[in-house]
Amino acid sequence: MIEFRQVGKTYPDGTTAVEEFSLTVPSRSTAVLLGSSGCGKTTLLRMVNRMVEPSTGSVLIDEEDISGVEPVALRRRIGYVMQHSGLLPHRRVIDNIATVPRLNGASRADARKRGYELMEIVGLDAKLGLRYPGQLSGGQQQRVGVARGLAADPNILLMDEPFGAVDPLVRVELQRELARVQEELKKTIIFVTHDIDEALTLGDQIVVLKTGGAVAASGTPAELLSNRQDEFVSRFLGLDSGARSLSAEKTDDGELLISDAQGRPLGVVPAQTDRADRP
């Protein structure tokens, strides 16, 4: 469990990145910090592995205040995945994944063995292991990034817009893969993004942030979509323009044809089931 207790961050030059932010992320769930750039979401994420020290308040992992934990040791037990993968260009793919186990003291052979297991988990061909990151596609590099984040088998995974730099088709595929991996491994994930669809796909809970780390809204995807109280939130999620309003029309076979705001058909709800649990 990760707990932000009224954390704030003010830089020496006086800019306030985050003010009085509180959030509890239950173990084995995914929390998405959603907001445009400058809203302090990356600052919040980096407080969890002490890359940013909060000016006020505290961050707790499993009830333990992390300000007392040695930063390097802390980072080695927390997975971190970032945009542009952040891979080390001078190390082979397999050694990139094996970096954290190596730092934790595993032998080179054991670390590489673990690396190949992870390549399989994230859906990478083992043949790519001996290549250098520069020889991989953007999507493949991001998969390597995820594998590296998972390599030390951390309980916590921090993801900073990990799929922000890949093309939309690959992004959707990576999101699906991450959801599958999460289903299997059940990590506690904090995921930072500005992509609303990504947040809705991956988040168990979503926190929408305004400038300065102020929480505009938070809740499950379903709660957010049915929230029209806050103007900022409905505009941010596109609820006000009707872009997310769907319409249903009964067909002759008794199925429901669902269309979006522009009248484009999206799919059908079969006659027998009446499940509507997907937002």
Partner 1 sequence: MSWILENLDTIGELTLVHLALSLPAVVIAFLVSIPLAWIANRIRVLREPLLTGTGLLYAVPSLPLFILLPALVGTSVRDPLNVVIALSIFGLALMVRSAAEALDAVTDDVQTSATAIGFSRVGRFFAVELSLAGPALLAGVRVVCVSSISLVSVSAVLGVNSLGSLFTDGFARDIIGSILAGIVMTVVLALICDLLLVLAGRLLMPWNKNAATVRPRLRKRRTQEAAA
| Minimum gap (Å) between residue 72 Cβ and partner 1 | 5
* H or E element, residue 111: helix 108-121
Interface ranges with partner 1 (CB under 8 A): 46, 49, 51, 72-73, 75-76, 80, 82, 84-92, 99-100, 103-104, 132, 134, 148, 158
What letter would DSSP give residue 90? T
C-beta of 10 vs 104, nearer to partner 1: 104
What three-state secondary structure class fits 10? strand
Closest approach of partner 1 to the CB of residue 182, in Å: 20
Is the CB of 66 or the CB of 225 nearer to partner 1? 66
204: tokens are 């168990």
157's CB contacts (< 8 A; 6+ apart) are 78, 79, 80, 81, 149, 150, 187, 188, 189, 190
Residue 209 backbone phi and psi in degrees, to 5? -110, 140
The smaller minimum CB distance to partner 1, of residues 9 and 210, is found at 9
DSSP state letter for 216: E
Q: How far is the CB of 265 from partner 1 (least distance, A)?
A: 42
Minimum Å gap between C-beta 12 and partner 1 is 16
Q: Which is nearer to partner 1, 51 or 268 (CB)?
A: 51
